[in-house]
Amino acid sequence: MIITVLSDIHGNLEKLEKISDVLSQSDLVLMCGDITHFGREKEVQSIIRTILQFQSNILAVTGNCDYPEVEHFLAKEGISIHKRSAIFEGIGFVGFGGSLPCPGKTPNEFSEDEFGESLTVAYQSLYGSIPHLLVVHHPPFKTAADRAGNGTHVGSLSVRNVIETYQPLACFCGHIHESKGQSVINQSYVINPGPFKEGNYALVKIDEGKLNTFKLLSV
Distance (Å) of CA 59 to CA 33, 82, 97, 213: 11, 10, 12, 20
CA distance linking residue 143 with residue 91, whole number of Å: 24
Q: Quote the percentage of the chain above a pLDDT of 70.
A: 100
Output the pTM of the full model.
0.97
Q: 177-207 pLDDT, tens per residue?
A: 999 999 999 999 999 999 999 999 999 999 9
pLDDT grade, residue 129 (50/70/90)? confident
CA distance linking residue 180 with residue 182, whole number of Å: 7
Q: 8-66 pLDDT, tens per residue?
A: 999 999 999 999 999 999 999 999 999 999 999 999 999 999 999 999 999 999 999 99
Contact call for residues 7 and 32 (beta carbons, < 8 A) = yes
Instruction: For each of the domains in the chain, give its residue range(s) and CATH number, in order of start.
Output: 2-218 (3.60.21.10)
Nearest to 84 by CA among 31, 127, 28, 40: 127
User: What is residue 157's three-state secondary structure?
Assistant: helix
Contact call for residues 65 and 36 (beta carbons, < 8 A) = yes
CA distance linking residue 115 with residue 98, whole number of Å: 9
Return phi, psi of residue 58, to 5°: -135, 135
Q: Which own/partner contact pairs does 159-165 have at CB distance under 8 Å and 24+ positions apart?
A: 159/96, 159/115, 159/119, 159/134, 160/185, 161/116, 162/116, 162/119, 162/120, 162/123, 162/134, 163/134, 163/188, 163/190
Residue 128 has pLDDT above 90, yes or no: no
